[in-house]
Structure 1
Amino acid sequence: MRRSLSLLGAVLAISCAWAQTPQQSNYNANTRFEQLGPMLPTPNTFRTAAGAPGRDYFQNRADYDIKVELDDANRKIIGTEVVTYHNYSPDELRFIWLQLDQNLFAKGSTGSITRTGSINENGMSFGALQNLTSVRERSQQQASDKYGYTITAVKDAKSNQPLKYTINQTMMRIDLPTPLKPGQSYSFGVDWNYFVTEYYGRSGYEFFPKDGNSNYFIAHWFPRLCAYNDVNGWQNKQFLGQGEFTLIFGNYKVAITVPSDHVVGSTGECLNYKQVLSATQQKRMAQAANSKSPVVIVTQAEAEAAEKAKPADVKGKKTWVYKADNVRDFAFASSRKFIWDAMQTDVYGDGRKIWSMSFYSKEGNPLWGQYSTRVVEHTLKSYGNRTIKYPYPVAISCHATPGGGMEYPMISFNGGRPEADGTYSEQVKAGMIGVIIHEVGHNFFPMIVNSDERQWTWMDEGLNTFCQYLAEKEWDYNFPSRRGEPQYIVDYMKSDKSVLSPIMTSSDNVISLGPNAYAKPATALNILRETVMGRELFDYAFKEYARRWAFKSPEPADFFRTLEDASGVDLDWFWKGWFYGVEPVDQDLAEVEWFQIDSQDPTISKANARSDYERRMKTMSKMRDAENKGQTVVAQDSSMRDFYNSYDPYAVTDSDRKKYQDYLATLTEDERRALQENAGKNFYTISLKNKGGVPMPVIIRMEFEDGTDSIARFPAEIWRFNDVSIKKVIATSKKVKQWTLDPFQEIADIDSENNSFPRQSQPSRFQLFKQRQYAPQGQNPMQQQRRAGGQQAPAVQGSGRND
């Protein structure tokens, strides 16, 4: 309904369109928009209020010299290491802590016996079923003393004398013979062995019954130093399986002894390719060093010939020697089944070449030969442009089991496997490309920006998933990303609060790790970039965070503070809502009131009055009676007419004009100008409710009667005086026929049905059922086309079948 405004009312309305006055209600706006304050640690000389490392920032270091052997026949790792630990802290250390992550699989470990599930008369709960059936759970639930570390020696490196040590599940404390003072270093040795578990998502072996061989993906395989820092002291929180790894940087020299027919991919640069590769393979390496497309180093034919051997049949051994500087961890993969392709390219156009490589068995082709190495290179380029240039000499993608993935410095283990006939679905292809981007991208978070994964999963997974989303869009405009867009997180945000955890939850305590630590923070960063900050401010601040904390160990406050410091945008309200809380976003466009200025110009006012009258009279009865209006008594008998039958109450008279001129004479010059500028404008009072709790920017689309539209944007601070309900005045020159909140799905609003005015109905569940396009069951589209056309699937370049 249109309402009239006086000139004074119009001036007030224009003013209100730009300034929101506080409204008295029960609200929590001051709390939401106050600074984080005590929720963040107090800045100090280690970590500044700006989010940068302080003048006294320190991090300790550990250098490793390791010799390890893979016993293929017994699926066993036997190793010895000499570790040199550097104490750069201001503290004297009387003991040091090491991580024994393989003890997660030992009988009675906390990580295995605290997994829960149930069985009742109706069947088995998903949690219990998962515990019993999944590969990962089988490895952790095996009631056997076989798994876990056997430590055979801990000794002083110089004197070779035994050191006192204590093992507490996945942690080992070594008592030092003398306190390690600030600035001092200490070297010690550890000898160990363990049996390799089935691949459980992070490391292990995958067995192939058809040929009797295994692919090995060896990670968290050696006793590693815990982090000691200004925040936690020793980060010796037990490894329970979900919270990942908190590690420190160091230099590595690793000699890996494997069966002579195995191919090894590893963290670092290989120092002895001449000793472990054939002359032909060395020539292919030389070709790959100058190629812009992958060159096959070990062909599929060579791998198939090698896999005819059985582990017990191979007697010879080879030792591959690697060097890796300034890395926080070390992993490797080994198999006689591996195909290997590579290319060395100038990724950033700065003259420095980086190796992109892939290792995969024939079960991964044709997908892996066509895509993997190219995706590795693309990931380095995309992430490097948003953070820092990739500093290492190589990045490797290994094909490990059908799904999932895991990351380590310079090497990652990734899923994505076609059918046995070489066909695959689009979902499998996208999943493989996505997981390679994700796991290779982890080289930046947390392998370079070295966050505490044991405590904060989101600081690596969330940031990495966000960068993955951007890299996927740069790979293919139509890439079917699973995470990043706000609408993808809506179902999770709708969940009951009792089953939700804040993003700022310790890794091992997070419920629904994927949505919470991957999708929600990635979505939050996308909203910051697209809606709250804008791309330019966000990209600069995000890059500054990576620059400040490259090869250092940031905490959440360092990230929060850096983004604000480098952008000049106050984001404390955003961190509170998205990272510290579990409330959803639900904005309700409750009402829209329409006003126009009463200019007292009779030409306008009477025309509007005529329009209103004609609209009211356009009823069904009137439209039907119009056919017979000439048959009424008054129409047929002129004597029944008088003055009012010809009187037009909406015609402008001389008296009307004189009154209008008299009115104008009473106005000041400013008032006449305001009247002239706003005559004919429409003023709308928008009533908004924040039903979800999290304050967010308000984005409104106005669709006008002439078919055009316009977008009005208001920052989240519009809620700062009242976070429950607000009113906002919007002035337009055209009449609005439809109002829509969040028209581009920018803020993850969980209820789109209350986002329109007038309300628009949503498709019913039945209608959605009718509209849904079901994917064919049983065969993927490549198989269907092959069967329908009687032809083979298209040939794929780079499948690894030729030299």
Structure 2
Amino acid sequence: MTKRTLCLALGISAATWAQAQDIMNNPGANHGNRFEQLGTILPDPNGYRSASGAPGPQYWQQRADYDISATLDDIHQKITGAETVTYYNNSPDPLSYLWLQLDENEHRPSSDNNSFDGSKMSDKMSLRAVNGLVGHDGPVLGDSILSITDAAGNKLPYTINQTMMRVDLPKALAPGAKIVFKVNWFYNISNRMVEGGRGGYEYFKEDGNYLYTITQWYPRMAVYSDFQGWQNKQFTGRGEFALAFGNFKVHMTVPADHIVGGTGECQNYKEVLSPAQFQRWQQAQSSKSPVEIVTLDEVKKAMQSKASATKTYVFEAHNVRDFAWVSSRRIVWDAMAANVEGKHVMAMSYYGPEAYPLYSRYSTKVVAHTIKSYSKHTIAYPYPVAISVEASNGMEYPMICFNYGRAEKDGTYSEAVKNGMIGVIIHEVGHNFFPMIVNSDERQWTWMDEGLNTFCQFMAEQEWDKNYPSSRGPAHKIVDYMKLPKDQLEPIMTNSENIIGFGPNAYAKPATGLNILRETIMGRELFDFAFKTYAQRWAFKHPTPSDFFRTMEDASAVDLDWFWRGWFYSTEPVDISLDSVKLYRMNTHNPEIENKLQQTAYNQNATHIANTRNRAAGVPFTVDQDTALQDFYSKYDRFEVSSQDKAAYKQFYDNLSPEEKRLYDSNKNFYELSFTNKGGMVMPLIIEWTYADGSKEVERISAYIWRKNENQVSKVFAKDKAVVAIRLDPYRETADIDERNNSYPRTVEPSRFELFRQEQLPRGASGGGNPMQQALSKP
């Protein structure tokens, strides 16, 4: 295949992914659709990406190194920056221009995201919602480019298209070559509590201070890849980022009383910290519990006045795809050492006084737990630092993330807030693995970032606390989403911008699917090996969905195309109905057994309501009153076992082979179960049998039972004991949307109701209450 043909084929594949739908190979038939291989849905393997799902022998990716100097203006909430970018063209293509991302431009009125969504009025509207209608009223937001020059100082022409900037090169950047260029810029920091977005500032009116979370803050190289060329799809606030790996050196000049945390390691703590703080930092290097490097008392003191002088933090980070930082005078900083598979990692947290009751107890320990749990299931955490920042937010960057979790003013908190905080810290710290290390394209496939991470989050939550109330991962918790009308659903394989139910589709459904694979379809041993193989193969590289799908099968020898097709490419739910149960027993030919069975059947057939009521009413029967009407058959016992019957049975039994005798003597019960696939998505049959003696047994039948008829199937089971009840999916493993048809005999699901006086909770209140606060208020 020529290079031009290859690029065209990959382009078509990318378009297919963007609007991926299940392709029916045998429409109208009851088979040949759901179990066919993905075939033309996936792109063909090539020299860059192998059929096994591993990087191919010709795999390549670009690299971008940054040297950045930035100044934070705490008076005018402004960032001014200058960066030197060294860009390496490792592709086989000459590049006549480069694309950079200007993500702050999402706040500009000219960006599509500020106009392409519908809108409505309501009785109550937030400031953010109203600003979305009337436009931002304040300093101009977005990146202002001051200059772009080459290493020699020559100007480079550039064109800005909303959140993307094209830099035109004087001559094409040849394969294997590199270019050094400089960008000077500034932007007004947005109030993220009003404008939204990932980064920005939060203003605390009570003490007049700011918390700055500086993210997507510098012009960043877009990804140029083998499967789609430049990823220059506009940033609209939802689909996140595809970025190149590289090394960073960043100088951040901030007010002298600010504390800064960021991606990588600080090179000059001794110069920017007080002697006492630096001593605590050294102590934390070997501490197994968090050490407050900047204490709460120091923070409260710093909040009372503002320094006019500045200081500069210097950070370095290697082999990362991005850089983010936090700066404020109102943040406590604690740290502890974590041993992650033999590597020394500093787990750290930054948080304000309002988060202190929760974060000082939990945050840093949750950080350490997370990187250990994820390392066990994916790859060993490779970086020297992992940071959690409380910012009433939830967003991730290499080695640093921003989370929420604030207590009430009296220091109490609800259990919901506590569990929510733990969950979001695990989730955002976990993003270090997906997509910061296993670097998928979030702009195109949100699920490869959020879904895989949410699945690992679920495992980490369950390893944190056996009673942790995970909301995403357990199969039954996706049922309400799967029940929705088809016009409110889309396949997981849908572009980020086109998803209606973003949380369920991109986070919960893929995480649930992976949990089903691990616990129900593949088993933990096969799944864990394959999942770890995927993470190891694609660490610090750019995988696509086909690389994941192929690796999971390649490393496990489990054919999963039916599962990818149903769970990822369609919107069909799981609804398997147990329609009927029939009992068969073998004819023993033993008259002492068979005659009794025949007598029971005869009596049942002869009994009817009129006969029953006549007997109960004492109706005189003519034959009983006139004995002359009685003959031989009046006293004949048609079910009596005669000596001839016994002799015939003995002759029959003696002529049986040993194998036949064992079968006749086993007295097996044969149960024929009939199932209907009402939902469409095929799944294994998980059957719980309840026997007459009270014992239970769970039997598992592969999903392949549906391969010859995807709509209906029956199967016979031989049981030694009599069965009194049968239940499908007893552990709720398959996300079956209608459990009412899962039992035989049918069961009634109890519920409860009560009379109540309607109350309206204030916005943001926890419906579960705050028992801690209530306990403190008791005399």
Common fold: TM-score over 0.5: yes
Q: Kindly provide the amino acid, as one letter, of the partner of residue 147 in structure 1.
A: L
Give the direction of change, closer, same or farther, for the CA distance of 1:650–1:201 in structure 2 (3 Å limit).
farther
Q: Which amino acid aligns with 2:219?
A: P
Q: Deviations over 1:437-458 (max 9, x none)?
A: 0000000000000000010000
1:167 corresponds to 2:156: no
Q: Secondary structure at the match of 1:33?
A: coil
CA contact (8 A) 2:222 2:230 kept: yes
> 1:36-51 alignment to 2 at 5 Å?
36-51=38-53
1:730 aligns with 2:717: yes
Equivalent pairs: percent with the same residue?
Answer: 52
Query: Match for residue 772 of structure 2?
Result: 782
Q: Deviations over 1:261-303 (max 9, x none)?
A: 0011100000000001111011111111111100111111110
Corresponding position of 1:751: 738
Match in the other structure for 2:304? 308
Mapped to 1, the partners of 2:770 and 2:118 lie a distance apart of 36
| Separation of aligned partners in 1, 2:770 and 2:624 | 75
Say if 1:441 and 1:464, in contact at 8 Å, map to a contact too.
Answer: yes
2:7: which partner in 1? none
Give the Cα separation in 1 of the matches to 2:313 and 2:221. 24
**Whole-angstrom CA distance in 1 between matches of 2:411 and 2:456:** 30
Q: Report the counterpart of residue 271 of structure 2 in structure 1.
A: 275
CA contact (8 A) 1:136 1:201 kept: no
Structure 1 CA distance, aligned partners of 2:578 and 2:491? Answer: 27
Contact 1:66–1:80 under 8 Å retained in 2? yes
Query: Residues 542 and 640 from structure 1, CA distance in 2 versus in 1: closer, same or farther, beyond 3 angstroms?
Result: same
Q: Report what 2:18 is aligned to.
A: none
Which of 678, 682, 689 lines up with 1:691 in the alignment?
A: 678
The answer to whether the 8 A contact 2:340-2:380 is kept is no
- Give 1:329's match in structure 2, choosing from 312, 322, 335: 322
Deviation at 1:671, TM superposition (A): 4.2
Give the letter aligned to residue 357 of structure 1: M
| Alpha-carbon contact 1:139-1:197 (below 8 Å) kept | no
Matches within 5 A, 1:24-39: 27-39=29-41
Instruction: State the match for 2:441 in structure 1.
Output: 452
Cα distance in 1 for residues equivalent to 2:656 and 2:58: 69
Structure 2 residue corresponding to 1:712, chosen from 671, 693, 699: 699
Q: Which moved more, 1:561-570 or 1:197-206?
A: 197-206
Q: 2:27 touches 2:33 (CA, 8 Å); kept in 1?
A: no
Aligned amino acid, residue 57 of structure 1: Y
- The one-letter amino acid paired with 2:402 is F
Corresponding residue number in structure 2 for 1:355: 346
- Equivalent residue for 1:80? 82
2:450 is aligned with 1:461 = yes
Does 1:492 pair with 2:492?
no
Q: Could you give the per-residue CA deviations for residues 585-631 of structure 1, whole angstroms, max 9, x where no partner exists?
A: 11011111111111211122123234546767899999999999999
User: Which residue among 363, 367, 386 is the counterpart of 1:376?
Assistant: 367
2-structure distance, mates of 1:140, 1:503: 34
One-letter amino acid matched to 1:753: R
Question: Is this contact kept in 1: 2:340–2:375, CA < 8 A?
Answer: no
Q: Residue 400 of structure 1: CA displacement? A: 0.6
Residue 697 of structure 1 aligns with an amino acid whose one-letter code is P
Closer/same/farther in 2, CA of residues 183 and 140 from structure 1, 3 Å limit: farther
Distance 1:136 1:507, change over 3 A: farther
TM-score normalised by the chain length of structure 1:
0.88
Separation in 1, partners of 2:381, 2:105: 33
**Residue deviations 1:101-135 (CA, integer Å, cap 9, x gap):** 0000012210111121224xxx46xxxx77x5448
Task: Give matches, 1:168-567, under 5 Å.
Answer: 168-199=161-192, 200=196, 202-309=198-305, 313-348=306-341, 350=342, 352-401=343-392, 404-567=393-556
**CA deviation map 1:295-315 (0-9, x unaligned):** 111111110111112xxx431
Q: Given residue 740 of structure 1, which amino acid in structure 2 is its aligned partner?
A: R
* Residue number in structure 2 paired with 1:146: 140
Q: Is the 8 A contact 2:110 2:162 kept in 1?
A: no
Cα shift readout 1:88-109 (whole Å, capped 9, x = no counterpart):
0011111110000000001221
Deviates more, 1:777-786 or 1:391-400: 777-786
- Where do 5+ consecutive residues of structure 1 fail to align? 1-23, 791-803
**TM-score of the aligned structures, taking structure 2 as reference length:** 0.91
SS in structure 2 opposite 1:194? strand
Secondary structure of the 1:301 match is helix
Q: For residues 783 and 144 of structure 1, what CA distance do their matches in structure 2 show?
A: 40
Alignment of 1:741 with 2:728, yes or no, is yes
User: In structure 1, how many angstroms separate the alpha carbons of the residues matched to 2:754 and 2:506?
Assistant: 32
Higher RCO structure (Cα 8 Å, ≥6 apart): 1
Corresponding residue for residue 566 of structure 2: 577
Q: Decide whether the 8 Å contact of 2:530 with 2:552 is kept in 1.
A: yes
Residue 65 (structure 1) aligned to one of 55, 64, 67: 67
2:589 corresponds to which residue? Answer: 600
CA distance in 2, matches of 1:561, 1:590: 36
Q: Tell me the distance in 2 between the aligned counterparts of 1:165 and 1:283.
A: 48
- The one-letter code of the counterpart of 1:50 is S
2:116 matched residue in structure 1: 114
Q: Which runs of no fewer than 5 residues in structure 2 stay unpaired?
A: 1-25
Q: 1:329, CA displacement in angstroms?
A: 0.3
Q: Counterpart of 2:422 in structure 1: which amino acid?
A: I
**Partners of 2:696 and 2:247 in 1: how far apart?**
60
Residue pair 1:107, 1:144 contacting (<8 A) in 2 also: no
- Whole-Å Cα distance in 1 between the matches of residues 497 and 394 of structure 2? 19
Which amino acid is 1:508 matched to? E
**Cα distance in 1 between the residues matched to 2:336 and 2:728:** 49
C-alpha contact (below 8 Å) 1:201/1:405 kept by paired residues: no
Two-structure CA RMSD over aligned residues (Å)? 2.8
- Tell me the secondary structure at the aligned position of residue 494 of structure 2: coil
Secondary structure of 1:711 counterpart: strand
Change (3 A) 1:647 1:426: farther
CA drift of 1:780 comes to 1.1
- AA of the residue aligned to 2:644: S
Q: Distance in 1 between matches of 2:290 and 2:129?
A: 33
Cα distance in 2 between the residues matched to 1:299 and 1:622:
91
Deviation string, structure 1 residues 128-182 (Cα, Å, up to 9, x no partner): x77x54489759952667000110010012x111111111110001111221111
2:101 counterpart letter in structure 1: Q
Shift of 1:229: 0.7
Give how far 1:408 is off: 0.2
Identify if the C-alpha distance between structure 1 residues 144 and 277 changes in structure 2 by more than 3 Å, giving closer, same or farther. Answer: closer
Once residues 707 and 317 of structure 2 are traced to their aligned partners in structure 1, the CA distance between those partners, rounded to angstroms, is 51
Deviation at 1:704, TM superposition (A): 1.4
Note closer, same or farther for the CA distance 1:337–1:622 as it changes in structure 2 (3 Å cut). Answer: farther
The Cα offsets for residues 673-712 of structure 1, whole Å up to 9 and x where unpaired, read as 5434xx4211111111101111111111111122112112
CA drift at 1:655? 2.1
Distance 1:267 1:757 in 2: 57
Deviation at 1:28, TM superposition (A): 4.0
Q: Report the Cα distance in structure 2 between the residues aligned to 1:320 and 1:656, rounded to whole angstroms.
A: 102
* Contact 1:106-1:145 within 8 A present in 2 as well: no
Which amino acid in 1 is paired with 2:687? I
Which amino acid in the other structure matches residue 211 of structure 1?
A: D
Taking structure 1 as reference, are residues 638 and 501 closer, same or farther at Cα in structure 2, changes over 3 Å only? same
Structure 1 counterpart of 2:667, from 680, 683, 706? 680
Q: For 1:332, give the aligned amino acid.
A: W
Does the Cα contact within 8 Å between 1:106 and 1:144 map onto a contact in 2?
no
Match of 1:591 among 572, 576, 580: 580
Q: CA deviation at 1:730?
A: 1.1
